[in-house]
Amino acid sequence: MIPVIGELRPWLDPTQLEMHRLPMRSSLPAGDGLRRSLDGNWLLRLFDHPDLVPAGAVRGATPEPNRQWQAVAVPGNWTLQVDGDAPHYTNVQMPFPGPPPVLPERNPTGVYRRSFTVPHGWSGRRVVVHVGGAESVHAVYVNDRFVGYGTDSRLPSEYDITDVVQTGANHIAVVVMRYSAHSYIEDQDQWWMAGLHRHVFIEARAEVDVADVAIVADYDPAARTGVLTALTTVSFGTAPAPGYTVRTRVETLGGRRVGVGAHQQVPHEHAAPYVFQGHRVVASWPALRVEPWSAESPTLYRVVIELLGPDDQVIDHTDQRIGFRRVEVRDRQLLVNDQPIWVFGVNRHDHHPDRGKAVTVDDMRADLVAMRAHNITAIRTSHYPNDPAFLDLCDELGFYVVAEANIESHGYNDSLCNDARYRAAWLDRGARMVTRDRNHPSVIIWSLGNESGYGVNHDALAGWIRKADPTRPVQYEDATRVEGWLDGGRAATDIVCPMYPSIAAIAEYALNPLADRPLIMCEYSHAMGNSNGSLADYWHTITTTPGLQGGFLWEWKDHTLRRRGPDGVSRLAYGGQFGDTPHDCNFVADGMMSADLEPRPALREVAWVYRPVTVTAVGDELQIENRQSFLGLGWLRARWEHLVDGSPVASGRLDLPDIAPRTSARVPMPSFGAGCEGDSERSLVVRWELQRRAWWAPAGHVVAWDEVTLGGERSAPVPVRVPVRVSGGEPIGMLLTSGPELNLWRAATDNDGFKLMPDLAVRLRIGGQALRRWQEAGVDRLDPADLVHHRSQVHDDEHGTTYRHVVEVPEDLADLARVGVMFTVSGRFDRMRWFGRGPHENYPDRRSSAMLAVWEADIDACPYLIPQEFGLRTDCRWLELIDRVSGQRVRVDAQSDALHMSVTRHLPADLFAAAHVDDLRSRDDVVVCIDVAHRGVGTASCGPDVLEPYRIPAGRHEFAYRLSASRG
C-alpha cells in the first residue's frame, strides 16, 4: 500500500484538496543556478489501482529500466507512451458510471521514479519541488519520505522538501492516480489522459525570501499615466526578525527606470494586532509616464523586487513583466483603456497530436503565430488554466485572454455546483488560478469554469475573485443559461456569455432596453468538419448592434491523437479508435486547424470576418473603416486591383488619410482608365498588406481584403477558341466517363448529422437532423429521378453541348442537400481553372472571404478528418478542367445564373462510406458536380442549423450549362 496516505485514500475524498502543499503564488523566476529541471526521462511503473501500489515502489534507490519500469518522457502522458492504458475521449458523459465520488474498479496508477542532485551551493537554502501538472491527483515522495499530495491537474503544486533532501544524490517518486473524486469536476470535452504533463523542477529559495508579488498596473486614459501598486509578501523560514527591507523599482524591458524606486521596511511582529496584515510591503506610484498595454500595442515593463537583509545586502530578488491597462464593464461594453474592443476570439485547448497535453513553448508560439496570421486576437483558455509560459507569450505578443478555472462537471451539470463536498474545491481552483495569473496584463477576464450548472459554489467563487481582484470582470456562461440573459446570474457573471446562440437571439438581447451587460459569446460557430456557416451574418449583426462585441469560436484545432494501426501506419485518431468506451467518437475533431496545425478552409472566412479594416463602396467613393481600438492604419499598405470578368486590368496603391481607431473615412474611387465599359463584370479588390515584417508574418502578408462590385451584368457565355472536337476527332461526349446525371445528394457534413453516431440524431435528436431526413426519404440511395420531377434538354452547336434542366422539388423534400448534376472525366485532367469565388473552398453561407475572380488550382483533396462534402466553389461563371500534359481542356459555362461547382476525385458515396480520411482512395476519374442550389453548412453539430436563406426550397429550379472541349 502507498506509504502514509494509502489507508486514507484521499483520492476518494472530494474535500481533500492537498496535504503539505505550499500556498499558490505568482509565477516568479528563480535566480541563476537556483532552479534545476527534472524534465526528461523518468521510469514509470503502472498499477491497476492505487491500493495495489506497494510501499517498495516509492522507496529505495531508483530502479533500473526493466519490463516493469519503463522509460517515459516528462512532461508527457503515459497514455501515449506505454501499453496497457490508452487515452479515452468523452464529451458530456463521464468515462465511468459514478455517481460522484465513486471511482471505477480499475483506476490506473503510475509511479514515476528518478534521481536528482542538489548542488552544494544550495546549502542553507530551502528546497522546493514543483509539479507543474499531474492528471488527475498525485502524491510526492523524496528519499522515501512522503512530502505532499495535490489536486487540480492544470495548476502547479509545490512542496518544501528541505528537511528530506541532502546535497548530492537524492531520489524522488511521484504517484499519479488517473481518476479521483476530482475527476468529476474535470469533465471537460477532451481526452482523458494521465501522467505528469507539465514541467517538474526543484528550486532553492532563501531562508527569508520573496514569497509572492501581486501587482495592479492600472492605466488612467484621461491622464495618460500608469497607476501601479506592488504588494510583496516576505516569507520567514525562521522566526520573523526586524531589519528586513524591500526595494522596488519600475523599468522598461531595456532597463531604463520609470519613476522613483521605493524602499520599505518589512513588518515583523503583531505589535498592532488589528492592523498587522502580514509580512507584506506595498509600494505604489500614482502617476507614471508609461505607454499602455493592449493586444494591438503590447507594451511591457518590468517591476524588480529586491529583499535586503539587516546588513542591507540583497538576499533575494525577483521580477515581473507587467503591462499598464484598465479593464471595465461599463455602459453595456467591455472596455480596455476606456475603449470598447472587438473580441476576435477563439477557444484553445492544450494539445499536441503526439504528446497530448504536454505542449512546449514552441507549440504555444506556433498556435499564436497562426492565430494572429488569421486576425485572431483573443483566446479563452478552454477549459482550465494554461501553463504560465502561454500567458507570458500572450503578454508579449498581444492577445486578450479569458482565463478559465479548471472546473467542469458536465456529466453532473446541475448537482455538484450545489454539493457541499465540492465547495472547497470550487473555491480553491478559482482562487489559485487568480493568485498565480493576476500579474498578466493579457488576462482581462476571469472565468469560473465551464458547463457546471449554476449554484452556490459559483457564487462563492465569484465573490472571492471580485474581492481579491476587483480590476477584472468575471464571467460564467451557465449562470445566464440557467437564470436568463437579461437579469440572471448577476452574482456570478458581469458578461452575458452564451454558447452557440442564434443570430436572432443575440440581436433580440442587444435591442432590449433592459439589457445592461455586454454580450460576448464564450463559444460559437462550432468548427466540426465542413462548418462555420453564417460567420459573416453573425459579424454583420455584431458590428451593427450596440451591446454585442464578438466571441470565441469553437475551436482552434482538432485534438485528435496520432496512433499506429495494425498495418503499421500512423494516423490521427478520434474517440473509440483506442478501444475506449464509452466515447463520443469524432466530436474531438472540431477545430479550424488540424491537430498538426494545417488550416481548414473555413479559417479564411474567420480571417475575413476578424479583419482589422474594411472597405465598402459609397457612390463613387470608398469607405475605409478602422476596426481597431488603439492603432491607426500606418502599419498596413493598401493595394487595389481592378478586375474585368475576373481578370486584373489595372492596379495601384490606395492613398489614405490618417484614419483613427474605431473611425472611418472616405477616399475617391481609384481611376481605372479605359476598358471598363460594356456589360462585362467589373469589381475592385482592395488588399491590406503588412508594411514590415511582423513576429507573425513577413512583409506583404495580406491582413484584410474586400471586393467591391462596380457594375456590369453577368458575363455572357464565352465561345471556346477551337471547334468542339479536339485533335483526333474526339467529341466532348467521349471525354466524359459518365453523366451528366441528376444529383440531389452530398456526403453529409458533420453539421448535417453524425454519420458515425446516428443514434444521436435518430433517438436523441442531437445535432443536425438533415441527414436523418434525407436517409428516411431515400435521397442517399434512390434514383433522384424517382424523388423529384426532372426534365432536361440537350443541344449541340459549334460552341459545344448545352444542357438545360428543370427540377421540381416537392414540398416533402424541401431543404435538400443540393440540386444539380454530376459527371466524371478522365483523371488525367488534374488541374482546374474557374471564374467564380475562390481561391479556397466556399459555400453559400461561407463565401464572404472568397473573392469573385479567375482562379487556378490543383484538384482538391479532402481537408476533413471524417470524409464529407468538400471542395465547392460558389457563383461560378465557368470552369475548366486541364490536362497539363496534352493541353486538353474540358470547359463548363453557366448559361443562365452563376452555378456552384466542385471538382474532386471522390463520388459522394465514397466520401459518405469512409470513416476516416485515410480510408479514402482516389478514383481514376475526376468527379464534377454542378449545382443550381446547394445547402449551406451551418453549425448544427453544436449550434444553429443552416439559416433559411441558405436552404433549398421546394418548387422549380432551372439551370443550364454548356460543355465544350479545347486544346489550350
Cis peptide before 717 (omega within 30 of 0): no
What distance in Å separates the CA atoms of residue 156 and residue 622, rounded to the nearest whole number?
53
DSSP assignment of 82-145, as one string? STT---EEESSS-SS---TT---S---EEEEEEEEEE-GGGTTSEEEEEE--EESEEEEEETTE
What distance in Å separates the CA atoms of residue 907 and residue 920, rounded to the nearest whole number?
11
Going from the C-alpha of 646 to that of each of 650, 681, 850, 892, 931, the distances in angstroms are 12, 7, 13, 16, 21
For residue 726, how many other CB atoms are within 10 A of its CB?
21
CA 383 distance to own-chain centroid: 11
CA 480 distance to own-chain centroid: 23
Note if 948 is an active site residue: no
Angle between helices 535-544 and 503-510 (to 10 degrees): 0
Nearest Cα to Cα of residue 612 among 376, 946, 368: 376
**Strand, helix or coil for residue 520:** strand
Question: CB neighbours of 403 closer than 8 A, spacing ≥ 6?
Answer: 381, 385, 386, 391, 433, 437, 440, 443, 445, 446, 447
Q: What are phi and psi of 151, to 5 degrees?
A: -120, 175
Question: CB neighbours of 202 closer than 8 A, spacing ≥ 6?
Answer: 35, 36, 38, 116, 118, 127, 128, 129, 130, 161
Selected catalytic residue, list 203, 477, 523, 605: 523
Q: What are phi and psi of 182, to 5 degrees?
A: -80, -10
Residue found by looking up cell 459518365 in the block: 738
Checking phi first, is residue 203 left (phi over 0); if not, alpha (psi -120 to 50) or beta? Answer: beta
Name the grid cell of 579. Answer: 478501444
**Strand, helix or coil for residue 405:** coil
Going from the C-alpha of 383 to that of each of 349, 404, 558, the distances in angstroms are 7, 6, 15
**Residue type (1 letter), 384:** Y
Query: Across-strand partners of 688?
Result: 638, 704
Nearest Cα to Cα of residue 588 among 381, 349, 910: 349
For residue 227, how many other CB atoms are within 10 A of its CB?
18
Q: What are phi and psi of 280, to 5 degrees?
A: -130, 145
How do beta strands 664-668 and 621-626 pair?
antiparallel
DSSP assignment of 589-600, as one string? ---SB-TT-PBP
Cis peptide before 99 (omega within 30 of 0): yes
Name the grid cell of 849. Answer: 472571404
Selected catalytic residue, list 451, 555, 681, 880: 451
**Residue type (1 letter), 744:** L
Q: Are 640 and 706 in contact (CB under 8 A)?
A: no
What distance in Å separates the CA atoms of residue 425 and residue 307, rounded to the nearest whole number?
34
For 763, the enclosing helix (H) or strand (E) is none
DSSP assignment of 249-312, as one string? EEEETTS-EEEEEEEEEPP-S-SSTTT---SEEEEEEEEE--PPB-SSSB--EEEEEEEE-TTS
Note if 18 is an active site residue: no
Query: Across-strand partners of 789?
Result: 808
**Residue type (1 letter), 749:** T
Catalytic residue numbers? 451, 523
